[in-house]
Amino acid sequence: MIRKQEALDYHSQGRAGKIEVVSTKPCQTQRDLSLAYTPGVAEPCKEIAVIPEEVYKYTAKGNLVAVVSNGTAVLGLGNIGALAGKPVMEGKGVLFKRFADIDVFDIELDSQNPDEIIKTVKMLEPTFGGINLEDIKAPECFYIEEELKKIMNIPVFHDDQHGTAIISGAALLNALELARKRIDEIKVVFSGAGAAGIACAKFYERLGVKRKNMLLVDTKGVVYAGRTEGMNAYKEYFVVETDERTLADAMKGADVFCGVSVKGIVTKEMIKSMADNPIVFAMANPDPEITYEDATAVRDDIVMATGRSDYPNQVNNVLGFPFIFRGALDVRATAINDEMKVAAAYALANLTKEDVPDSVIRAYGGRRIEFGRDYIIPKPFDPRVLLWEATAVAKAAMDSGVARIPIKDFEAYRDSLEARLGKSREVMRFFIHKAQHEPKRIVFPEGEEEKILRAAHIIVDERIALPILLGSRTLIRQRIQDLGLNLDNIEIINPSKSEKLDAYITAYYTKRQRKGITPFDAERQVKTHNIFGMVMVDNGDADGLISGLTQHYPDTVRPALQIIGKKDGVQRIAGLYMLVFKNQTIFIADATVNIEPTAEDLVEIALLTAEKVKQFDIEPRIAMLSFSNFGSTKHPLVDKVQEAVAVVKQRAPQLKIDGEMQADTAVSPEVLNELYPFSSLKGGANVLICPDLTSANIAYKLLTKLGGATAIGPMLLGIKKPVYLLVPGNDVNDIVNITAMAVVEAQKGSNGQEGSSHRVSKEFIGMTSHMTT
């Protein structure tokens, strides 16, 4: 439970509040100032005056939403006023930005006059791309939204109404599937006839619930034909002929309870009186209409959701509004209509049935999450929600005719959404797309491992590679079934029963017979999965290998060297990491293989790294690191790096390489230009060659943990064929990404590196322009 002081400290410590405005353009010089404001700003103003749609090109309008409230229905606090409601509206802005990269200004209006609010919001239309109405009491909220939708040409969305309806609607679709009930036959009871209750009832009708099968219950009891007390036009829509007058009456035989009312209004006896396999959505906040413990104590066949994160199936509006607006803004929709809301609900319902990423599992306690009674809607921190829901909403906007700029390529659109989740996801989408053009056979010696199997499901589904799993066929098939994966046609090989075992034993023995290996040793070792997989790759029966999830680096590297071998002319292999930050990408070596490299080893590490970076069509700018800047310190360790720099320049004079230099100097163009104008690294380095494994390993791990970088790798450099290393901490997405990189490398080996590199350039350079300028 969050303590009062903890919440107050969160909002007050440091910069007060939760939001700030950050410039997206530089403003460091007089010239920048002249461009940002007068006189330069006049030019986009003149363009917009002639062509109003250019406002989306020259301003932030297209990604800017107003969160508008008058504070009359704030959370469970009631009518506390516009000023007191401001922390909630700032919080809403944080969620928009965190989950969908949408910018927000919160607008608190000190008025309880609906027409004043309508007039004010309408006048804000030139500023914003969309309007999110928030915490406005019923029934005024219905009128305000209806009128604004009539007079505005940008999306208007009252989240208190539609957010709960959409998320619980997705939960309803999946709960009905588990309960094996038809939506057009169920009886639904709604407790609460405010904004959320009315909206849920209307949305459920849109999903297929018959209005005659709905009972709306408010503080005066059941909304029935002929009732006059506490009625309004919105409740009148749901009147039915019935003798039931109380919530207890209504609950008897009900299939679904949808609660958006008050704590403790539902009793155990009411839950007992419901139909078989009851569906209970007790969504009152912060405390539900009945606790999870009480409801499940009396019904073991129940499917239950609440608004709380400490119970299964949290109906959290953050699963809706950020992604709905994202899709609406991206097609410049004139409205958020029913078709878009239904598409959002179905996207969430369908996503729930997909395998859950390890990052989500870790965020929610580490226990396996799979579709069932305790998981009928996605978790709020599932990054895939953005991809699924925004895409579905954008497509529905196009299909229903409210999109002004239709999306032509939805694959490219999904990539743009990935980029909003972080630069590393954008970079990895590049590799995945390249892999999909020509999938290769990748062998996984640890084919019995759950993470490998789950990764293989994604790899096959996205056509990234043709996985080959090594292990017991019976065990792997059983685990595939237990995990609910679709891998019916995947290739599984049990090394000890393979028809090629004898041939592989002979091949391995021939390679290693003068290295102390006897025929008996060869037979025993080839039956082990790693050795068998390496021989497969060496013999051309697989194009690459990925291993290391359950073992140490040497257990993968050693057999790779012994069986597949190094490329011609290579004396030392090395390991390379790609570190992806928000605004730049850095390569760092060698953090994997060479513990105390000599000067000659550093030369080879630098040359191998440059070759790999060039394969991505990035011009390597290499800094050879030390604790000294260009001779500032005399020491044998400095001499080693200086010697390596001199040799690389001699062997590869075309490379941009310099050193020795300190790490901060290497990545600071202004320092290099001012203090070391002779350096060839005018724009700073994008490749860092560390003097030893200790410094490289420490550096990349600190940069990932404290610097916010995402590490992609390690990539083994110098091996004849693709062998990629995993570590025990890798999750499923890591394995998928590494597989894509292995496939891309295998493609280069089979197609010829020069031609393949040419195909990479346009899309990758555009994505990583900051690395090459």
Residue at 346: amino acid letter: Y
Cα(first)–Cα(last) distance of the chain, in Å? 50
Judging by beta carbons within 10 Å of its beta carbon (0-12, 13-18, 19+), is residue 148 exposed, middle or buried?
buried
For residue 402, the SS3 value is: coil
Q: Which one of 61, 92, 451, 656 is the catalytic residue?
A: 92
Q: Residue 41, Cα to own-chain centre: how many angstroms? A: 36
Nearest by Cα to 466 from 747, 748, 743:
743
Rounded Cα–Cα distance for residues 651 and 383 (Å): 46
Judging by beta carbons within 10 Å of its beta carbon (0-12, 13-18, 19+), is residue 122 exposed, middle or buried?
middle
The answer to whether the beta carbons of residues 274 and 266 sit under 8 Å apart is no
Q: What is the dihedral of CA 606, 610, 612, 616, to 10 degrees?
A: 150
The residue to which tokens 């320092």 are assigned? 671
Ranges assigned E (strand) in 675-761: 687-689, 710-717, 723-725
Q: How many residues does the chain have?
A: 773
Nearest by Cα to 681 from 647, 699, 655, 700:
655
What Rg do the C-alpha atoms of the chain give, in angstroms? Answer: 31
Ranges assigned E (strand) in 71-119: 103-108
Token pair of 537 as six digits: 């790759």
Q: Which one of 10, 25, 37, 210 is the catalytic residue?
A: 37
User: DSSP letters along 27-47, please?
Assistant: --SHHHHHHHSTTTTHHHHHH
Rounded Cα–Cα distance for residues 692 and 689 (Å): 9
Which sign, positive or negative, has the C-alpha torsion 75, 79, 82, 87?
negative
Residue at 398: amino acid letter: M
Rounded Cα–Cα distance for residues 398 and 171 (Å): 25
Nearest by Cα to 435 from 532, 544, 567, 580:
544
Judging by beta carbons within 10 Å of its beta carbon (0-12, 13-18, 19+), is residue 65 exposed, middle or buried?
buried
Q: Residue 527, Cα to own-chain centre: how many angstroms? A: 39
Rounded Cα–Cα distance for residues 493 and 470 (Å): 5
The answer to whether the beta carbons of residues 289 and 261 sit under 8 Å apart is yes
Local structure of residue 155 (DSSP, 8 states): -
Is 504 one of the annotated active-site residues of the chain?
A: no
Enumerate the β-bridge partners of residue 375: 372
- Angle, vertex CA 404, rays to CA 399 and CA 406, nearest 5: 55
The answer to whether the beta carbons of residues 175 and 376 sit under 8 Å apart is yes
Token pair of 265 as six digits: 């209004």
Which sign, positive or negative, has the C-alpha torsion 366, 369, 373, 375?
positive
Rounded Cα–Cα distance for residues 356 and 371 (Å): 9
Nearest by Cα to 449 from 473, 478, 474, 479:
479
For residue 468, the SS3 value is: strand
The answer to whether the beta carbons of residues 583 and 679 sit under 8 Å apart is no
The residue to which tokens 């969305």 are assigned? 157
Is 92 one of the annotated active-site residues of the chain?
A: yes
* Residues forming the active site: 37, 92
